[in-house]
């Protein structure tokens, strides 16, 4: 039977670990590799067909690493979805271009938001330099009907607006006072809540329009969640292609 390549589930890999992985590739006996950095809007060949839909059309582009096997065949090895967008395409038979891309200095704003809690931060090159957290009570359930239910709904909407305003004021003040340039906005939390927040709150310098496509996972926004978020913000989703007989 023919050998088919199957993509593993994505492994969230921090850039430091990925750089170490490249060293392992380089010392692999007799191995040669071709690396492609491809901006968004790409179409992959059938050899990458086992990748899931999310990897077939990534807003940040995709990085492909293939092994050169005898006599002149390219065998897919890794597909990487980067945390930051690829601007210029590149292809190389070394890892120099990829290392340069991974090592680019980025400064981003972070907002983590779930009903009841929020956290905002600024991160420079993968390190938190500004943080602020807070909370605002938002009751989730109401079991009575009628007028009581309507009062609860109006009250809950008011609590949510107050939460958004509190988080928005804290974020805007810190982002506006930052002396450098904030390139992107990384968001974490419930997608619907974040969408409602961005509709209500206008962030400085049009930052709300520069949100990264990858939403950061977070259970409850706070200082610990920011530590996890900044690591995830500099991590790659790595798919490894393995042989299946």
Kindly report the CATH number assigned to the domain that includes residue 130: 3.30.420.60
Write out pLDDT tens, residues 216-228.
Answer: 999 999 999 999 9
Lowest mean pLDDT among 19-28, 68-77, 85-94, 229-238: 68-77
| Displacement of CA 49 from its chain's centroid (Å) | 23
Write out pLDDT tens, residues 200-220.
Answer: 999 999 999 999 999 999 999
Q: 156 and 94, same structural domain?
A: no
Q: 216 and 119, same structural domain?
A: yes
CA distances in angstroms from 189 to 35, 111, 115, 141, 214, listed in the order given:
33, 9, 9, 19, 11
Q: 87 and 145, same structural domain?
A: no
pLDDT in the model for residue 1: 37
Which single residue is written with the structure tokens 């190389």? 92
76 lies in which domain range? 4-104+235-244
Q: 126 and 225, same structural domain?
A: yes
DSSP code, position 238: E
Q: 70 and 50, same structural domain?
A: yes
Q: 68 and 150, same structural domain?
A: no
- Does pLDDT of 145 surpass 90? no
Highest mean pLDDT range out of 20-34, 60-74, 113-127? 113-127
Write out pLDDT tens, residues 52-107.
Answer: 999 999 999 999 999 987 766 888 999 999 999 999 999 999 999 999 999 999 99
Q: 111 and 24, same structural domain?
A: no
Q: 37 and 21, same structural domain?
A: yes
| CA pair distance 170, 52, nearest whole angstrom | 38
- Does pLDDT of 136 surpass 60? yes
| CA pair distance 153, 151, nearest whole angstrom | 5
- Does pLDDT of 144 surpass 60? no
Question: How many other C-beta atoms can be found within 10 angstroms of the C-beta atom of residue 111?
Answer: 29
Number of domains observed in the structure of the chain: 2
Q: 155 and 184, same structural domain?
A: yes
User: Which H or E run includes 75?
Assistant: strand 73-81
Q: 74 and 92, same structural domain?
A: yes
Q: 224 and 113, same structural domain?
A: yes
Q: 126 and 59, same structural domain?
A: no
Strands 33-38 and 11-14: what pairing?
Answer: unpaired
């Amino acid at each position: 039977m023919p050998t088919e390549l199957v993509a593993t589930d994505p492994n969230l890999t921090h850039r430091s670990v990925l750089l170490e992985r490249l060293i392992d590739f380089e010392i692999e006996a007799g191995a040669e590799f071709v690396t492609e950095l491809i901006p968004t809007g790409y179409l992959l060949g059938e050899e990458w067909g086992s990748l899931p839909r999310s990897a077939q059309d990534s807003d940040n582009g995709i990085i492909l690493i293939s092994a050169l096997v005898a006599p002149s065949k390219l065998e897919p090895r890794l597909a990487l979805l980067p945390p930051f967008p690829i601007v210029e395409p590149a292809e190389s038979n070394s890892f120099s271009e990829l290392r340069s891309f991974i090592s680019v200095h980025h400064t981003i704003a972070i907002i983590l938001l779930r009903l009841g809690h929020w956290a905002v931060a600024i991160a420079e090159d993968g390190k938190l330099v500004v943080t602020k957290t807070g909370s605002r009570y938002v009751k989730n359930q109401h079991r009575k009907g009628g007028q009581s239910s309507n009062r609860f709904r109006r009250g809950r909407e008011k609590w949510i607006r107050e939460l958004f305003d509190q988080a928005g004021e804290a974020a805007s003040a810190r982002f506006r006072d930052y002396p450098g340039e904030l390139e992107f906005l990384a968001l974490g939390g419930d997608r619907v809540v974040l969408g409602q927040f961005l509709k209500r709150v206008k962030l400085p310098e049009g930052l709300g329009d520069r949100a990264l496509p990858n939403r950061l996972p977070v259970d409850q926004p706070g200082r610990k969640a920011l530590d996890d978020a900044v690591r995830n913000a500099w991590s790659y989703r790595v798919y490894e292609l393995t042989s299946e007989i």
